[in-house]
Chains A and B, each alone.
Chain A
């Protein structure tokens, strides 16, 4: 089983709909992140959480919200999806030992908003 699991893997939704992307991890890490990947733009940080009570906005948080339900679970919501939110979304985790520890990524969720 994967250490960082994202569900769903693929989703097509209509403009205006609310959608939730879920991430769970078995690595025991404190820190969790949501990124979106767009061609030519690389990965951009949406939200990050350093523990259950700590939620922080990233570069592109407008139109998104998150919930850290437990140490192992971090969900990303699109309150009212729009077509330019069509992208590949990644969840990542890292431990809190220090800034030189690598992040581990899920397989990604491909979201299409029509």
Chain B
């Protein structure tokens, strides 16, 4: 069965500092990985996805994610945090053809401190 782990429920970062939100996954075959963001009282918005062959993926709002196959990780990063980045972030994995359910992690609440 496929799964996603987000080991940190809460991450606090000072404004202007780099941020990392961690994600590890487990899936048979090639992984299809995604990051979503949820602002208060809103649905989930797509941030970025892993594309086979690109270990560093760039997405919306200046976010990027680093794929590491040996560590089965897909950490979300941003070089300089903004207060407006404060939100709930979800990592998700989908299996290969024939097993295409999208499975989410438990989420990480990111708070950027002014």
Contact = CB atoms under 8 A, between A and B. Distances in A.
Interface of A: 4, 31, 33, 35, 40-45, 48, 50, 58, 90, 92, 94, 98-100, 102-108
Interface in B47-103: 49-52, 90, 94-97, 100-103
25 contacts: A4-B43, A33-B102, A42-B104, A42-B106, A43-B44, A44-B104, A45-B102, A45-B103, A48-B101, A58-B101, A92-B102, A99-B94, A99-B96, A100-B32, A100-B50, A100-B51, A100-B52, A100-B94, A102-B46, A102-B49, A103-B46, A104-B46, A106-B43, A107-B43, A108-B43
A33 B107 CA distance: 19
Q: Which residue, A48, A94, A105, has most C-beta atoms of chain B within 10 A?
A: A105
B3 to A, nearest CB: 11
Nearest to A4: B43
A43 B101 contact: no
Given A33-B102, A42-B106, A90-B43, A102 B34 contact: yes
Interface of B: 6, 9, 32, 34, 36, 42-46, 49-52, 90, 94-97, 100-107
A45 B51 CA distance: 24
A42 B105 contact: yes
A106 B41 CA distance: 11
Contact of A105 (B43, B52, B100, B107): B43
B106 A41 contact: yes
A107 B32 CA distance: 24
Given A42-B105, A42-B106, A42-B107, A99 B100 contact: yes
Given A33-B102, A99-B97, A43 B43 contact: no
A93 to B, nearest CB: 11
Contacts of B45: 105
Contacts of A92: 44, 102
